[in-house]
Amino acid sequence: MCLGDSLTSGHGIGTAAAFPALLHQRVRRAGLPFEVINAGVSRQTSADARARLDRALEGDVRVLIVALGANDGLRGVPVAQLTDNLGHIIETAQKRGIAVLLCAMAALPIYGWEYTAAFHQAYIALAARHNVPLVPFFLQNVIGDARLMQGDYAHPNADGARAIADVIWPYLEQLLATGVGRPSAVAPQP
- Going from N- to C-terminal start, the domains of the chain cover 2-177
**According to the model, what pLDDT value does residue 190 have?**
30
> Which residue out of 5, 9, 72, 155 is catalytically annotated?
155
Q: pTM for the whole thing?
A: 0.93
pLDDT digits 0-9 by tens, 128-173 = 999 999 999 999 999 989 999 999 999 999 999 999 999 999 999 9
Name the CATH topology of 2-177: Rossmann fold (3.40.50)
Whether 171 contacts 133, CB under 8 Å: yes
pLDDT digits 0-9 by tens, 119-130 = 999 999 999 999
Question: In whole angstroms, how far apart are CA 60 and each of 34, 70, 86, 150, 182?
Answer: 10, 27, 21, 34, 11
Annotation says 60 is catalytic: no
User: In sequence order, what are the residues at sequence separation of 6 or more whose Cβ sits closer than 8 angstroms to the Cβ of residue 9?
Assistant: 15, 18, 38, 40, 41, 42
Question: In whole angstroms, how far apart are CA 69 and each of 24, 30, 66, 97, 123?
Answer: 23, 30, 9, 23, 10
Smallest CA-to-CA distance from 105 within 91, 94, 119, 117 is with 119
Residue 99 — pLDDT band, cuts 50, 70, 90? very high
**According to the model, what pLDDT value does residue 186 have?**
32
Residue 161, number of CB atoms within 10 A of its CB: 25
**According to the model, what pLDDT value does residue 177 have?**
85
Smallest CA-to-CA distance from 134 within 170, 86, 101 is with 101
Annotation says 6 is catalytic: yes
pLDDT digits 0-9 by tens, 28-63 = 999 999 999 999 999 999 999 999 999 999 999 999
> Which residue out of 6, 24, 46, 72 is catalytically annotated?
6
